[in-house]
A and B are shown apart, each in its own frame.
Chain A
């Protein structure tokens, strides 16, 4: 697929999902950050010395992850429901390229909710988000987007491979937020949970963002690990999607589709 095609698809996906006519994900993108920021704001009244930046980002991360889970998770199954999967399979573009476009666009759209969180935090709640280095923070956000895209890809595969996973997606949402260290750093978890957390690419993306916010010393190491883990999963996902595509072309059905 040429770069221009890929970009067109990306832009179209972004336009479609951020269009106000499309109410599907409006709550996650626009209202959920507002809800969590309100909770943080009023809970702050009990203590007063909360690290504003960390919790503004935590609010944004919850919405970002929710959006990726619901949108990328159903990236392929939704094509089945709208009867466009056949068209995708016979199109001259590979399934992995289509899926990659979808999950990357979803991660970029998820980033809007982070931007919105910052706007709400600044103009509605008057939170002080002190970013030590904007350059490093932007790079960390890109690292997070990569990890979210990979998570989206994994979800898309899992949702296709197993029947009825879609029914359980609400149950995946909360444990992931907790395990990836959105509220409490992974280092404080029991060993077994810590090991599981560290093999989730999103954990490292989130860690990168938090470390970039405070300019913690291991930031470069964390970002490198995040990129490497994401690339590893990306490569694995690429081969699995190839296999899925072959099976679908051969048998016409697989798991949930």
Chain B
């Protein structure tokens, strides 16, 4: 069903996916994550020593996966707006949400690839040996994290339509996630109010769960993933409300936002 040559997923991939050649794909989906991990691993090593390296790399694996998903989503919406197909999506008899979900398969698969390759890279370069006896937890974590990231990215991409400079909004959001989701340090180091906020963000619990699976921290994995899943559903509901409201607004006014 998904490999329909003229389906929405394939057409969306052909139209807006940035890295369609093998060279670009290797560079941006293997080399770039690798450089990202090396960068933060070096930063952490220089600051607090090599004993902390695995902690940082695992946090950044989840972060980079989310970054891939968000950039893909935002790119999809931006291109739709640039080529004027956003209006066509709304005007078409197909349900808008169905269109978005079908097109969202490309970001989902892209991020999944990044996550898997990062786990392999982590094993080869940072001695992060995959705990085979915990494989069920890893699969569960992967599914839950992808779902929550997907819902959050959808919400984020909808909000991005309000901004005239999407890049600035994207970069600030990514920086916000870097700091408040415990990517490089535990969220327990944050002041209480900020820790509370961080527990409402999509990556925090997944990062803690991944570190626990790799025996770096000691938390209850199932409980963390259930919290992450609940957050995912909350983001899904919010994004659904936003998509439906924006669609209604667009149908009523004949445009989405003026002067953007």
Rounded to whole angstroms, the CA-CA distance of A141 and B32 in the bound complex is 30
Residues of B close to A24: CB separation below 8 A: 165
Stretch of A97-105, A154-162, A166-174, A223-231 with 4 or more beta carbons under 8 angstroms from chain B: A166-174
Stretch of A126-134, A175-183, A213-221 with 4 or more beta carbons under 8 angstroms from chain B: A175-183
B48 and A47 contacting across the interface, CB-CB below 8 Å: yes
Task: Report if B43 contacts A (CB, 8 A).
Answer: yes
Residues of B close to A139: CB separation below 8 A: none
Known: A32-B175, A39-B178, A43-B185. A171 touches B168 (CB 8 A): no
Chain A, residues 24-55, CB within 8 Å of chain B (1/0): the string is 10110001101100111011111100100001
Stretch of B34-42, B113-121, B142-150 with 4 or more beta carbons under 8 angstroms from chain A: B34-42
B35 and A175 contacting across the interface, CB-CB below 8 Å: yes
Known: A38-B179, A45-B185, A47-B48. A170 touches B42 (CB 8 A): no
* Residue of A with least CB distance to B179: A38
Residues of A close to B27: CB separation below 8 A: 168, 171
B24 and A31 contacting across the interface, CB-CB below 8 Å: no
Residues of B close to A42: CB separation below 8 A: 179, 184-185, 189-190
B145 nearest CB across to chain A (Å):
22
Interface centre among B32, B36, B39, B190 (most CB of A within 10 A): B39
Task: Report if B131 contacts A (CB, 8 A).
Answer: no
Residues of A close to B47: CB separation below 8 A: 40, 43-44, 47, 50, 55
* Residue of A with least CB distance to B178: A35
Residues of A close to B48: CB separation below 8 A: 43, 46-47, 50
A43 and B184 contacting across the interface, CB-CB below 8 Å: yes
Rounded to whole angstroms, the CA-CA distance of A167 and B167 in the bound complex is 16
Known: A171-B31, A171-B35, A183-B43. A31 touches B172 (CB 8 A): yes
A43 and B44 contacting across the interface, CB-CB below 8 Å: yes
Rounded to whole angstroms, the CA-CA distance of A31 and B227 in the bound complex is 30
Rounded to whole angstroms, the CA-CA distance of A234 and B227 in the bound complex is 57
A167 and B24 contacting across the interface, CB-CB below 8 Å: yes
Known: A27-B168, A168-B27. A39 touches B184 (CB 8 A): yes
Rounded to whole angstroms, the CA-CA distance of A31 and B175 in the bound complex is 8
Task: Report if B123 contacts A (CB, 8 A).
Answer: no
Interface centre among B164, B165, B178, B185 (most CB of A within 10 A): B185
A234 nearest CB across to chain B (Å):
29
Chain B, residues 8-38, CB within 8 Å of chain A (1/0): the string is 0000000000000000100110011001101
Task: Report if B214 contacts A (CB, 8 A).
Answer: no
Rounded to whole angstroms, the CA-CA distance of A168 and B190 in the bound complex is 35
Residues of B close to A55: CB separation below 8 A: 46-47
Rounded to whole angstroms, the CA-CA distance of A55 and B36 in the bound complex is 18
Interface centre among A26, A34, A167, A174 (most CB of B within 10 A): A174
B40 nearest CB across to chain A (Å):
8
* Residue of A with least CB distance to B39: A174
Rounded to whole angstroms, the CA-CA distance of A40 and B27 in the bound complex is 29
How many residues from A make CB contacts under 8 Å with B?
A: 30
Known: A27-B168, A171-B27. A39 touches B35 (CB 8 A): no
Rounded to whole angstroms, the CA-CA distance of A183 and B46 in the bound complex is 6
* Residue of A with least CB distance to B170: A27
* Residue of A with least CB distance to B165: A23
Residues of A close to B46: CB separation below 8 A: 55, 58, 183-184
Residues of B close to A39: CB separation below 8 A: 43, 178-179, 184-185
Interface centre among B27, B43, B52 (most CB of A within 10 A): B43
B74 nearest CB across to chain A (Å):
14
Task: Report if B7 contacts A (CB, 8 A).
Answer: no
Task: Report if B45 contacts A (CB, 8 A).
Answer: yes
Rounded to whole angstroms, the CA-CA distance of A45 and B43 in the bound complex is 15
Rounded to whole angstroms, the CA-CA distance of A184 and B27 in the bound complex is 25
Instruction: Select B42's contact among A44, A46, A183, beta carbons within 8 Å.
Output: A183
| A/B interface sample: 18 pairs, CB < 8 A | A26-B168, A27-B168, A32-B171, A34-B175, A35-B175, A35-B178, A39-B178, A39-B184, A42-B189, A42-B190, A46-B185, A50-B47, A171-B32, A174-B35, A174-B38, A174-B39, A183-B42, A183-B43
10 shortest interchain CB distances as A-B pairs: A183-B46, A27-B171, A35-B175, A23-B165, A174-B35, A42-B185, A174-B39, A47-B48, A43-B47, A38-B179
Residues of B within 8 A of A (CB): 24, 27-28, 31-32, 35-36, 38-39, 42-49, 52, 164-165, 167-168, 171-172, 175, 178-179, 184-185, 189-190
Other than the given A45-B185, A171-B28, 6 more pairs (CB < 8 A) read: A43-B52, A46-B48, A174-B35, A174-B36, A175-B35, A183-B43
